[in-house]
Amino acid sequence: MKKKLQGAEAVGRSGRWRRAIRCCAVMAVFGLHGAATAADDDLAQAASLVAGHRYAEAYAVLAPLAATSEANGTFAYLYGRAALGNRQPELAREWLSRSLKQRPDSVEAYLALGQAYTQLGMFAEARLAFENVFRFDNLPPDLESQVRIYSRAAARYLEQDERLLGYGYAMIGIGQYRVNSTRGTRATGEDERRDTFYNARVGGALNYELADNYALDASLDYRFRYYDNPEARNDSDLRWQFGGSRTMGEGNLALGLQGRVSYRGESTYRNDYGLFADYRYRLDPYNQIAVGGEVYRRRYPQGAQRENTYSSALANLEWVHALVGGQASLSLKGHAGYNFATGRPDGDAMIYGLEGSFDFKLTSQVSGFVFATWEHNAFAAENYHFHPDAYDESVSLRRRDNLYELGGGLVWSLGQGWSLRPELLFIRDQSNAIAENYSSTEAWLNLRWDF
């Protein structure tokens, strides 16, 4: 009997322990649910504060939760935005990068990340982040000017909820154009000519952000050059582009139409029009690759150059790399293609080439850029040209051209979008056909306003 009572007491104690454990488990579940509900409430409050640009208050709400919320993409974005608004760009960069790992298609996170890099002075990294969203054509050639344009557009998107974004520019300048001595200029009697010119340029670009990371993009650029020599040809050039793009994770795909109308002298024009496609991919914060292609028609409607009308298909591959803590950027690009459907006496042509550019910042107000290009044209048909070694003889040959450009410039920022820009450009066209050899040197000083 005594053993039975002891057994019953043991069973009773075991049951009480089981009930106590179940009670604790239920209380723990409800406690966690309450904590999750509180965290959700904090996120909702922080989102409202960020939307109202009350960044200090949002930061105060989110900072205590940072240690336990690293895997929450929404928290990471809001905390990054709050830090950015509090002028803590390094903290913002860290958390916005985390948010993109969880939400890689977030346009807002890419633009905010670009703003964080801009505040840090890491302009090369900022440009790569901005270019996951924006498609602005005809940007100035220097790195910092590009990033400042992107940054102003990003601020309007993030702070003012604007969806139609863009920029404009106007530029005037004076320069000198020199025709250098080559076999071709000596053969045509245009050896060593110098002309002063005045130039002007206006244009801009628009980007309209649609739902689901789509955007419409357009640009227009007009250039004019007037020579003080009445025998020299004044130049004018109008370029346009229209298309659509979409942000897709670390990439951006663009498709569209583009064209160009150029005055070629003697009341004749050259018209270009065609299709293009381009895909950019940000490999990491410091590297971007881009692959693209275009098909276009270059048409001379009338005049002596009408026979030079042709079509072209081109493909290109580019790599961009951030250097010197974002104070410099290196770009290398290769292209190849074919010119066809032509009436040129030299026939169709296989083309390929390389381009390289280096952008850098010298001081708080001065930056610069250098670039070089090379292209080889191999024509398909034999045609009579001046002999490669004699001006007064002709020979049937397949023309081979090598085209070179080397240039650079400095940018002195004057504030409020104004800048002073001295630039230099050297051109050299080498050919086994004497008359196609050419070289020139251009130097000019431009005053530019970006707005």
For residue 251, which amino acid is it?
Answer: G
Percent of the chain with pLDDT over 90: 79
Residue 37, pLDDT score: 54
Average pLDDT over residues 329-333: 98
CA distance 307 to 312: 15
Q: The pTM is what? A: 0.87
**Matching residue, tokens 């002999």:** 387
Q: Render pLDDT for 298-320 as a digit per residue (tens, 0 to 9).
A: 999 987 788 899 999 999 999 99
Q: Return the C-alpha torsion angle 421, 424, 427, 428, nearest 10.
A: -160
CA distance 73 to 37: 17
CA distance 377 to 399: 8
Contact (CB, 8 A) for 53 and 84: no
Helices (H), 135-251: 143-160, 183-188
Q: In CATH, which superfamily holds the domain spanning 164-450?
A: Outer membrane protein transport protein (OMPP1/FadL/TodX) (2.40.160.60)
**Matching residue, tokens 């689901």:** 212
Residue 232, pLDDT score: 83
In this predicted structure, the answer to whether residue 29 has a pLDDT above a threshold of 80 is no
Q: Render pLDDT for 376-403 as a digit per residue (tens, 0 to 9).
A: 999 999 998 887 877 778 899 999 999 9
Burial class (CB within 10 angstroms; exposed 0-12, middle 13-18, buried 19+) of 390: exposed
DSSP 303: S
Residue 300, pLDDT score: 92
pLDDT band at 8 (very low <50, low <70, confident <90, very high): very low
Average pLDDT over residues 95-99: 97
More confident call, 215 vs 31: 215
Q: Look at phi and psi of residue 278 and say left if phi exceeds 0, alpha if psi is from -120 to 50, else beta.
A: beta
Query: Which DSSP string corresponds to 348-397?
Result: -EEEEEEEEEEEEE-SSSEEEEEEEEEEEEEEEEEEEEE-TT-TT-EEEE
Q: Which of 72, 143, 104 is nearest to 252 (CA)?
A: 104
In this predicted structure, the answer to whether residue 409 has a pLDDT above a threshold of 60 is yes
For residue 2, which amino acid is it?
Answer: K
CA distance 406 to 442: 11
Choose the weakest-confidence range: 18-32, 89-103, 260-274. 18-32
Q: Which of 232, 167, 176, 150 is nearest to 202 (CA)?
A: 167
CA distance 288 to 330: 11
Residue 179, pLDDT score: 92
CA distance 437 to 184: 4
CA distance 221 to 226: 17
Signed CA dihedral, 240, 426, 293, 135: sign only: negative
Q: Render pLDDT for 225-246 as a digit per residue (tens, 0 to 9).
A: 999 988 888 899 999 999 999 9
Q: Render pLDDT for 175-225 as a digit per residue (tens, 0 to 9).
A: 999 999 888 777 666 667 899 999 999 999 999 999 999 999 999 999 999
